[in-house]
Chains A and B, each alone.
Chain A
Amino acid sequence: MQMDVDTLIRVAAFTGGGIAMGFGAIGAAIGEGYTAAQANVAVSRNPSLSGDLFKNMLVGQAVAESASIFALVIAILLLFLDVPGHSKLTAAALFGAGLCIGFGAIGSGIGSGFPGGQCCMGIARQPAVVSKMTTNMLIGSAVCQTPAIFSMVVALMLLFMDFSKLPLFPTWAALIGAGVSTGLAAIGSGYGGGLAAGASCEGLARQPEAGSNLTTTMLVGQAVAQTPSIFGLLISFILIFKTFPESTSLSAAMALLSAGICMGFGGIGPGIGNGMAAEGAVRWVARNIKSAGELMRIMLVGQAVSQSTSIYAMVISLVLIFVL
């Protein structure tokens, strides 16, 4: 079957749009479902607070839905927008954009459901600090969205930049690799950040006077958990902005695609692992405020070690881009 460039672009845009919204809906739906499940447990524990719990669940779910709205925006742009440049590279860029936001919205969607759920449980346990807990939940959920925002930025760059003057081989692989790198790496960071934020809401209900210590530990933990997605973003930027010499050899293209795959998959585990370390620290700060400094130190050392595998992935990605 012969395919002209315009048809190829349309095929890539439709496939990318389907992937963007299909995968992008997974995370937010799970996150919202988790919040609702915890709200049910909370209502059965303390039925007199069902009004507060319902409101809190609704607000938590509205914020958790942001990640899938990012995916929706990119999907609609892919389906309806007349993008700049009409070459085969445009098709690769559009497909990469769909992959990027589709994968990138999963972790943030699930992760931002954790603080919502734990906040509902916390309100049932400690109704006196509803407002404080909701604020903490909203901050935690908002920070969870950062990896999805990184994915949206890369997807928008792939959509709106004109790559038509670059050589088709091997740039097509670099553009798809750029989408995969940030998209996959964002999964772990979004999920991990959610673990820390959920533990913070739980801790606040257990020990309201530990509020500032909890928020600080949560934010530091989330910031470090987001490092793998920043590595993913860095590799994407290199793949997008570096001009690769024309080469029709398949190995040159596969090196660039593999660089994106390597950093993308390599960022998932460290993001979740860092989130687990942060979750542990935040949970125990609430039980032992006096040791907050020590807990933070152990968390950071643990996160640094857990981070090392994403650094290995980044090194291999850089070798694939610059050496091979």
Chain B
Amino acid sequence: MGAPDRALQKKYGSRAMAVAIVVGLFFIAGGYKPLAKGLVLGSLFSVINFVIMGETLPSRLGKSRRGAFVASLGSIFFRYALMAVPLVVAIKMEQVDLVTTVVGLFMIQVVILADHVLGGLRRKHPKQV
């Protein structure tokens, strides 16, 4: 795993958590604590999934075909099992909102999309100094 790839994970991971925490603070200020907890919990697991995805990719290189298949399958099962954890917690605990937990699970995808779409718009309409 090279430094640029880690930087990418760091960039999107930190942005996803920052968005979740800022929106979560707004929820807490409005008196919706379970919504904030759900969003932060879902986002945390979204980030962990993304990091594991990036970290385990190079480990599959240089393996035999069978080894790479087993490693890929194991990684997928592990990551899906991990993503199920916040959902089960939200279903079982009333203090954690289910809907915002689901939204949080897509936080990495939302941040990646927003980053590139906003970047594209900025390139199209550069700020006049």
Contacts and interface: CB of A to CB of B under 8 A. Distances in A.
B93 to A, nearest CB: 11
B109 A63 contact: yes
Given A58-B54, A142-B113, A80 B92 contact: yes
Interface string A122-133: 000000000110
A-B interface, 10 closest residue pairs, ranked by CB to CB distance from nearest:
A76-B87, A135-B116, A135-B120, A80-B91, A51-B4, A138-B116, A55-B8, A76-B84, A138-B113, A73-B102
Interface string B100-114: 001001101100110
15 contacts: A55-B5, A59-B112, A62-B53, A62-B108, A63-B112, A66-B109, A68-B80, A69-B105, A72-B80, A72-B87, A73-B105, A135-B117, A138-B112, A138-B113, A142-B113
Interface of A: 21, 25, 29, 51, 54-55, 58-59, 61-63, 65-66, 68-69, 72-73, 76-77, 80-81, 131-132, 134-135, 138-139, 142
Given A69-B105, A142-B113, A54 B5 contact: yes
B67 to A, nearest CB: 16
A68 B109 CA distance: 13
A76 B116 contact: no
B29 interface: no
A61 B53 contact: yes
B117 A139 contact: yes
Contacts of A58: 5, 8, 53-54, 57
Provide the main secondary structure of the chain A interface: helix
Provide the main secondary structure of the chain B interface: helix
Given A63-B112, A131-B119, A77 B106 contact: no
B83 interface: yes
B88 interface: yes
A122 to B, nearest CB: 15
A134 B116 contact: yes
A238 B91 CA distance: 30
A142 B5 CA distance: 22
Given A59-B112, A131-B119, A138-B113, 14 more contacts: A25-B80, A58-B53, A61-B53, A62-B112, A68-B80, A69-B83, A73-B105, A80-B87, A81-B91, A131-B116, A131-B120, A132-B120, A134-B116, A135-B120
B9 to A, nearest CB: 8
Nearest to B54: A58
A134 B102 CA distance: 26
A134 B5 CA distance: 15
